Amino acid sequence: MKNWFTLFVITASMVVSFAIWEYWMGNAGNFDDGAKRHMPKKGNVLGMIYTGGPLVAVLLGLLVIGVTYVFERAIVVSKAKGKSNPQQFLKKVQANLQSGAVDAAIQDCQKQGGSMANILLAGIERYKQVLNDPEFDTEKKISEIQRAIDETSNLETPLLEKNLVILSTVASTSTMVGLLGTTVGMIRAFAALAEGSGAVSAQQLSLGISEALYNTAGGLLAAIIAIVAFNAFSTVVDNFVYTIDEGILEVMEIFTDKIKSNKA
């Protein structure tokens, strides 16, 4: 399902971007020479950007993809943290477990939602099942709780990092596409200089330079947004995973003490 979503976002972004480049930026009304679309009207930004060539549409598509996944990651990370502050939630669960209010801790997890709550819920429910089970010794009980937590953690944690690779890919690809557009534009500019032995075609020269500069700017813009977003989300995810690991360790210490005291 996620792969289909990614394919849809990439395809839709590119199609929409090419349509915007061709029909909006490339509208004949944006140019002094009409349908030829070589000479943008003075001060017409859309027409000037259009002269950057088809690679501008590719860069626009990459920008749309990057922005889409910025919102997607923001929504996912927000849901993963749950309804209230993770630190406050963790303290509340620990307090309930310390006092023996296991059902209250379960209700807290169900109410909170998110990755941390799901992981702790799996451990608490398993703890409740094995605490008074005579078939399990102390070490086996602790092992069973840890296994339940690890299994849920292995399902929840990768979801936090999923699609970050798309942001890093957009960052590197935008830079390369922008560089390609710059190179193509400079080739066109120098080709205009090399044409014939007469006067240099100012129109062709300006088109080549415009193509180079707009592709450079577009590539840098898309790359900057993607890089900043990637680093920001990587930091948020790393901190949240650390909080989850810290919470698991503290809860497991409570479980261990409770199980050992229960046996005694």
| pLDDT tens digits for range 104-153 | 999 999 999 999 999 999 999 999 888 887 887 888 989 999 999 999 99
pTM of the model: 0.84
**Integer Cα distance of 242 and 76 in angstroms:** 17
Residue with tokens 């849920």: 152
The predicted structure's pLDDT at residue 201: 60
Q: Cα-Cα-Cα-Cα dihedral of 19, 24, 30, 31, to 10°?
A: 10
pLDDT above 70: residue 238? yes
Is 11 exposed, middle or buried (CB count within 10 Å of its CB: 0-12, 13-18, 19+)?
exposed
- Band of pLDDT at residue 66, cut at 50, 70 and 90: very high
Is the pLDDT reported for residue 3 higher than 80? no
φ, ψ for residue 114, nearest 5 deg: 95, 175
Span 151-187, pLDDT tens digits: 999 998 888 888 899 999 999 999 999 999 888 888 8
**What b-and-e string marks burial along 183-204, b requiring 16 or more CB atoms within 10 Å of the CB?**
ebbeebbeebeeeeeeeeeeeb
